[in-house]
């Protein structure tokens, strides 16, 4: 008699933390606005928070709109949710909005700076309509809060 294979619960899909243009320059570019932490510093903090929350995370960054769209489209099957800091594409990209809507995943939009205290063109976000929430102005802590919010949503 063959032993039955132990049933494992399906592996949880990771949350995608997606960063747009110029975020690879964190710590170097305008530190008075964006802080001195680098993107690897943010990733390290997010991985620690994800471990604490019992969720997995994946990181991606691109300066190219099409690459971000491709990654969001792949997330539909590969990920449980998305934390996105789309950088300047926040204020210009209908393509990202369309991709986020097509992904049909919970999305939290993050901005390091308070976009409402900056130039008026930054006050409008094309991607907010696809998001369950927006976190702005809290620096890298915004990513951790976004992960906490998604962990709660995904646990429901």
**Catalytic site residue 123?**
no
Of 89, 111, 126, 143, catalytic: 111
Concatenated DSSP letters for the chain? -PPPPPP-PPPPPPEEEEE-TTGGGTTTS-HHHH-S--HHHHHHHHHHHHHHHT--EEEEE-S-HHHHHHHHHHHHHH-SEEEEE-GGGGGT-HHHHHHHHHHTS-EEEEESS-GGGS-GGGG--SSGGG-SEEEESSTTHHHHHHHHHHHHHHH-
**Catalytic site residue 111?**
yes
Of 34, 89, 126, 143, catalytic: 34
Catalytic residue set:
34, 111
């Amino acid at each position: 008699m063959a032993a039955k294979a132990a049933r494992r619960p399906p592996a949880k899909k990771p949350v995608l933390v997606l960063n747009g243009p110029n975020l690879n320059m964190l710590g170097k570019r305008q530190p008075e606005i964006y802080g001195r932490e680098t993107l690897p510093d943010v990733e390290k903090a997010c991985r620690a928070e994800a471990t604490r929350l019992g969720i997995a995370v994946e990181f991606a960054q691109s300066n190219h709109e099409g690459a971000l769209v491709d990654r969001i489209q792949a997330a539909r099957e590969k990920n449980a949710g998305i934390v996105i800091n789309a950088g300047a594409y926040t204020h210009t990209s209908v393509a990202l909005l369309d991709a986020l809507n097509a992904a049909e995943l919970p999305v939290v939009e993050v901005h390091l700076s308070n976009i409402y205290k900056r130039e008026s063109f930054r006050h409008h976000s094309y991607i907010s309509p696809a998001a369950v929430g927006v976190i702005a102005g809290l620096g890298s802590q915004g990513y951790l809060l976004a992960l906490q919010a998604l962990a709660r949503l995904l646990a429901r």
